[in-house]
Amino acid sequence: MSDTVVKIIPTDPYRRIDGQEIQRVMAYLQSKIKADKLEVVSNETPLFIDCGDSLETIQCPYCGETLDFDWWHGRMDAAYGTAFRDLSVKLPCCGRESSLNDLAYDFPCGFSCDAFHILNPWAELREEDLKQLQELLGISVRAVYAHI
Ligand SMILES: [Zn+2]
């Protein structure tokens, strides 16, 4: 049987979540979300928070062009060389500057140092929960769904 992990991450890949914020968010999740497990995963530098096997397409956030996976892998390798501190890319379609974090991943992916992992939530996460988390943290967050 496969597992689902919902990862809640700051939209800004460099925004760290401090101890107090972690406590606030964990208290909220523990009171509202039924799941097999709740945990925080932290790293000094941003990590690629992927959706597992569900990544089907990546598109340019400006012109909507579908981006080639070979191009993307090359850009990921280059960014990995900076420990994902530099995520900037020049898009091959329209030539605009963007970030690997801002490409239109389907299903959604992102980059972050800190992530809240919700393992096998018993019910789907509601918009309202995401809004509450954004308010608790005072930042915008993104939910990444991964099947593992
Ligand atoms: Zn483009």
**Average pLDDT of the chain?**
96
d(CA 41, ligand 1 centre) in Å = 33
Same domain? For 48 and 116 the reply is yes
Looking at the DSSP bridge assignments, the partners of residue 111 are 48
Question: What is the number of domains present in the chain?
Answer: 2
CA–CA separation, 57 and 66 (whole Å): 7
Same domain? For 80 and 101 the reply is yes
50 — pLDDT class (breaks 50, 70, 90): very high
pLDDT average, residue stretch 64-76: 98
d(CA 126, ligand 1 centre) in Å = 32
Provide the pLDDT for residue 84. Answer: 98
Provide the pLDDT for residue 2. Answer: 86
Provide the pLDDT for residue 148. Answer: 83
Element containing residue 43 per DSSP (H, E): strand 35-49
Domain extent, residue 118, equals: 1-53+110-148
d(CA 68, ligand 1 centre) in Å = 12
Q: What is the pLDDT of residues 74-114, one digit of tens each?
A: 999 999 999 999 999 999 999 999 999 999 999 999 999 99
Provide the pLDDT for residue 129. Answer: 95
Same domain? For 40 and 29 the reply is yes
Same domain? For 118 and 101 the reply is no
In this structure, what DSSP letter does residue 125 have?
Answer: P
d(CA 103, ligand 1 centre) in Å = 10
Same domain? For 49 and 115 the reply is yes
pLDDT average, residue stretch 60-72: 98
Q: What's the pTM value of the predicted model, to 2 decimals?
A: 0.93
d(CA 65, ligand 1 centre) in Å = 6
3-to-111, 120, 146 alpha-carbon distances in Å: 21, 6, 8
| Burial tier of 7 (Cβ tally within 10 Å: 0-12, 13-18, 19+) | buried
d(CA 88, ligand 1 centre) in Å = 14
d(CA 78, ligand 1 centre) in Å = 20
Same domain? For 95 and 136 the reply is no
Instruction: Please list, residue by residue across 86-101, b when 16 or more beta carbons sit within 10 angstroms of its beta carbon and e when fewer do.
Output: ebebebeeeeeebebb
143, pLDDT greater than 80: yes
1, pLDDT greater than 90: no
Same domain? For 39 and 12 the reply is yes
Tell which phi-psi region holds residue 129, choosing left (phi > 0), alpha (psi between -120 and 50) or beta. alpha
Same domain? For 35 and 49 the reply is yes
Provide the pLDDT for residue 53. Answer: 87
d(CA 27, ligand 1 centre) in Å = 41
Same domain? For 62 and 48 the reply is no
Same domain? For 7 and 43 the reply is yes
Same domain? For 72 and 114 the reply is no
Q: Which residue, among 78, 81, 148, has the nearest Cα to 120 in the 3D structure?
A: 148
* CATH at residue 139: 3.30.70.240
Same domain? For 49 and 114 the reply is yes
Q: What is the pLDDT of residues 37-49, one digit of tens each?
A: 999 999 999 999 9
Alpha helical stretches, state H, the chain? 19-32, 69-80, 127-137
